[in-house]
A and B are shown apart, each in its own frame.
Chain A
Amino acid sequence: MLRSAHLTRLFVAATLLALAVAAARAAPVRTEHVEAELVSERTALVPGQPLTVALRLAMQRGWHTYWRNPGDSGLPTTLAWKPPQGLSAGPIQWPVPQALPVGPLMNFGYEGEAFLLTEVTAASGLADSKLVTLTGRADWLVCKEICIPEGADLALTLPVASVSDADPRWAAPISSARGALPQALQGFAVSAVGVGQELVLTFTPRKEASDPGEAYFFPYKAGLIEPSAKQTLLRDGDAWKLTLAVANQRVGEFARVAGVITSSRGFAGQRAATLDVPLGGSIVAGTAPPAIATVPLALPADTSASSLGVALAFAFIGGALLNLMPCVFPVLSLKVLGFATHGGGRATMRLHGLAFAAGVIASFWLLAGALVALRAAGAQLGWGFQLQSPAVIAALAVLFFVMALNLSGVFDFGRLIPSSVATWDAKQPFLNDALSGVLAVVIASPCSAPFMGAALGYALAAPREVTFAVFTSLGLGMALPYLVLAFFPKWRARLPRPGPWMQRLRQLLAFPLYGTVLWLAWVLGAQLDNDAVLRLGVSLLLIALALWAWQSRSAGALRGWTVAALAGVAAAAAVVWPVVAASTPTAASPSTSIDSGGWQAYAPERLSTLVAQGRPVFIDFTAAWCVTCQVNKRLVLNSSETRDAFTRSNVALLRADWTRRDPAIGQALAALGRNGVPAYVLYRPGRKPLLLPEVLQQSTINDALATL
């Protein structure tokens, strides 16, 4: 009896299988690029039990179809069932997609073979031994270089039975596809915080977890996360943080982050998992503060006359203030000395003034030209960039030292330069004026006075003509005091009359220049090392010796002293050469002032991590060669009052040291609309970053922190 029942079941099963093979195995539909069919995991529909069927798409090599969110372009595959009475079909259960880059865009989809699963349930009342045909319309877009919309009417006929067997052909691939479907992420607490254009997913393991490797997040909804943006997973303490970019053209409310997270080594073993978490931070409110650190320079859309006028005005004022900056003042002194000694008629004075102004403006044009050219070449540069090169620092140190020696009276230019040049020089005082104008600009560049940063930021991002206009305005501002002195004799009359005091003054003016040399030596030390400073020092010593020897020619054996002088210069050059050659300093640890007191070195990731934690962040963009920066640091940033204020407000402190070229810092400055240091910015949770003035006062810091 038992045996007979078994036989009967076997017989029924065999019959059903035969039926299924005959009826269900309708040939797949072949379109131009895809082979499509409906396949079933089991050989029969059992009333009341769910059955997994799949839309199987086999794409031609190199062609792909799309996931539920197709990414930047494309269309999701659709499957519209026309289920017969007594049957219901669920939605498509999407397998984990692949990220498919197309040029700068990103698509999410499938290459090769894809099984899009659907659960079909037969009502429990459905009669046994009946054949049921499932029909559906599948539409898909298949793309390689080009896209072809394709579709097919598909059918799958199955018997209804009380038992079913695994389909010999499709049970294995369907069950493995089902096994690979992403399930809700286990073992991690996930949070999402968006700030500006960045969104950080934080995965905190509930217990010890191993490194997930590379991760990629596929969002369910389009228009929220930029599909083509790089996604980086970084370890942060016990947790991992995945940084995503908010869509450039964001559509709709962004209140939740939902999608599939994949990783090369798995989150606690899950290579692919779903997540759906609420989004915190400032994206929810709908405000989009300027992106931090990663924004490329973009052309400002607004170059209207009014904002241009304001920029020109500030450039002019900034240029005038440059005269009072520590590194320009020695030149101002020299120039004032020059006015006092030149004497001459009123017209001559005016010409002196105009020649100097021409020199200043010509240099600013040259700088603007270089800026435009370099910007076109995509170089990361900013105001003061010249001083990031040790060669330029060394050359300036030598130049200032020689000038200082001249002022001190160690030698005279009249004797140094061959008489023909010297007399030509003397006959061309206007050329002299123009050249000292050029010199003034060269040494002014590291000190971006107040307002300069904004004007430069504006000029750098503006069209070429505007850049030139702003630089012209800067030059005019800088030349202003000289022009005023040249054109208003009354004011000039307030200058002291020539006399023996001038020699003393000349000697006195040497000291600021020696001071400048010391400062340059310190900058060189910050850029390179102690050795470089010593080399520069020895070189300067040899130069002093050489100049002294040269001066002594008239007093002794002409030839001997000349040889000694030339040898001294050669030795000086040899000693300083390694410093000059080290124009691209090897990046060791930032050499200046990532000191204690809670300051950390700036890194874009560090900033975004801190911001994602919701902490306020203060960044000090600084450089050793920037005098204003050092003054601010000593007087304000390092004061105990400031330190206490920062601690009270729980502000994270980052220092971006631009003493040497660092593209990350250049980009961060550009994103803030600045191109020089100092720059001070306070990142406030959920609000626009607050840019502080370039000259800091205690009250500035207090006021800024009060806005937190």
Chain B
Amino acid sequence: MIFRSFAFALALGAAQAVVAATAGQSAPNFQLVDTQGKAVQLSDFKGRYVVLEWTNPQCPFVRNHYNTRNMQALQQRWGERDVVWLSIDSSNKSSGEYMKPSKLDLWMHSQGAAQKAVLVDDDSTTARLYQAKTTPHMFVIDPQGTIIYAGAIDDRPSTRPDDPPNARNYVQAALAQATDGKPVATSNSVPYGCSIKY
């Protein structure tokens, strides 16, 4: 009888394991190769905060956050505090906006980007895994591997240069609150930007 109820609990557990990549859920693991050719997987960083930034240098929303140095500043600030920042380009190889890893790497360099790695997801598998929709689409993962924020980078969906500095940056807020031991006030938002080029 005890065994049976154990089995029952296990079965329920299995039923619940069907997840959407949204705040409160475990972040699905993935493995990608970065623009330097190095294999990187999410589970390498267990025990640290991780930020996933879906990016595409061709997208005006992404460019706005780099042109205003908003993105680089975040990468820099949190990188210094041992947060792992991973930028992911999921533009499919067959799409018009696909950039070769070397070109992508060069672009990030030219922008003074300060992420841990720029990952190449040229068949969009990881984007599908996270149901990522836009560039930028942001995820913040805590040291236990739980997604604590998913959605837009800030509360101003626009491409105007004066918006990023004045917006409420959700990623900044989530990281600041979480590392302070406080609950994350806004853990989900509707992502905005260009569609990911699946």
A-B interaction: yes
Give the contact stretch, choosing among A145-153, A431-439, A589-597: A145-153
> How many residues of A are in contact with the other chain, CB < 8 A?
56
- Nearest Cβ in chain A — how far from B134, in angstroms? 5
Task: Give residues 69-84 of A contacting B (CB, 8 Å).
Answer: 72-75
Task: Decide: A451 and B3 in contact? CB cutoff 8 A.
Answer: yes
Query: Residue of A at shortest CB range from B146?
Result: A301
Bitwise, A261-301 to B at CB < 8 A (1) or not (0) is 00000000000000000000000000000110001011111
Chain A proximity of B142: nearest CB distance (Å)? 13
- Choose one: B10, B28, B92, B96; the contact of A146 (CB below 8 Å): B96
Q: Are A143 and B194 in contact (CB under 8 A)?
A: yes
- The docked-state distance in angstroms from the alpha carbon of A291 to that of B19 is 10
Q: Does A249 contact B (CB under 8 A)?
A: yes
A105–B7 Cα distance when bound, in Å, is: 39
Q: Is the CB of A72 within 8 A of B195?
A: yes
Residues 1-38 of B, flagged 1 when their CB comes within 8 A of A and 0 if not, give: 00110111011111111111110011111000000000
Q: Is A126 an interface residue (CB 8 A)?
A: no
**B176 located at the interface, meaning its Cβ lies under 8 Å from any Cβ of chain A in the complex:** no
Evaluate whether A691 and B25 lie within 8 angstroms (CB atoms) in the complex, with A104-B128, A302-B17 already known.
no
Instruction: Give Cα A673 to B7, complex, Å.
Output: 12
Q: Give Cα distance in the complex from A250 to B20, angstroms.
A: 10
| A21 on interface, CB distance cutoff 8 Å | no
Which residue of chain B lies nearest to A459 when distances are taken between CB atoms in the complex?
Answer: B14
Q: Scan residues 298-326 of chain A and give those whose CB is less than 8 A from a CB of chain B.
A: 298-302, 307, 310-311, 314, 317
| Cβ-defined partner of A291 (8 Å) among B18, B97, B158 | B18
Q: Does A212 contact B (CB under 8 A)?
A: no
Q: Do B198 and A300 have beta carbons less than 8 Å apart?
A: no
Is B97 in contact with A314, judged by CB distance below 8 angstroms? no
Q: Looking at chain B's contact residues, is the secondary structure mostly helix, strand, loop, or mixed?
A: loop
Kindly list chain B residues whose C-beta atoms are within 8 Å of the C-beta of A450.
3-4, 7
Chain B contact-residue range equals 35 or more
Beta-carbon contact of B192 and A248 below 8 Å? no
A221-249, CB < 8 A from B: 222-223, 248-249
Q: Does B145 sit within 8 A of A, measured CB to CB?
A: yes
B28 & A295 in contact (Cβ 8 Å cutoff): no
Closest to B150 in A: A249
Q: What residues of chain A lie closer than 8 Å to B4, measured between beta carbons?
A: 450-451, 693, 695
Closest to B24 in A: A288
B189 interface neighbour in A105, A251, A298, A451, Cβ under 8 Å: A251
**Neighbouring B residues of A148 by C-beta, 8 Å:** 60
Residues of B within 8 A of A249 (CB): 20-22, 131, 150-151, 188, 191
A-side binding surface: helix, strand, loop or mixed? loop
The answer on a CB contact under 8 Å between A73 and B194 is yes
Cβ 8 A contact of A290, one of B15, B28, B158 = B15
In the complex, which residues 125-177 of chain B have their Cβ closer than 8 Å to any Cβ of chain A?
A: 128, 131, 133-134, 145, 150-151, 157-159
Q: Contact check: which of B10, B58, B95, B133 meets A310 at CB < 8 Å?
A: B10
Given A300-B17, A674-B11, also A73-B6 (CB < 8 A): no
Q: Is B65 an interface residue (CB 8 A)?
A: no
> In the bound complex, do residue A105 and residue B190 qualify as a contact, i.e. CB atoms below 8 Å apart?
no
A364 at the interface (CB under 8 A from B): no
Contact among A145, A250, A290, A688 with B197 in the assembled complex (CB-CB below 8 Å): A145
A546 interface contact, C-beta 8 A:
no
The smallest beta-carbon distance between A507 and chain B, in angstroms, is 37
Where the two chains meet, the residues of B that have a C-beta atom closer than 8 Å to any C-beta of A are 3-4, 6-8, 10-22, 25-29, 58-61, 92, 95-97, 128, 131, 133-134, 145, 150-151, 157-159, 188-198
Q: List residues of chain A with CB under 8 Å of any chain B CB.
A: 72-75, 102-105, 107, 139, 141, 143, 145-149, 222-223, 248-252, 290-291, 295, 297-302, 307, 310-311, 314, 317, 450-451, 453-455, 457-458, 461, 671-674, 688-689, 691-693, 695
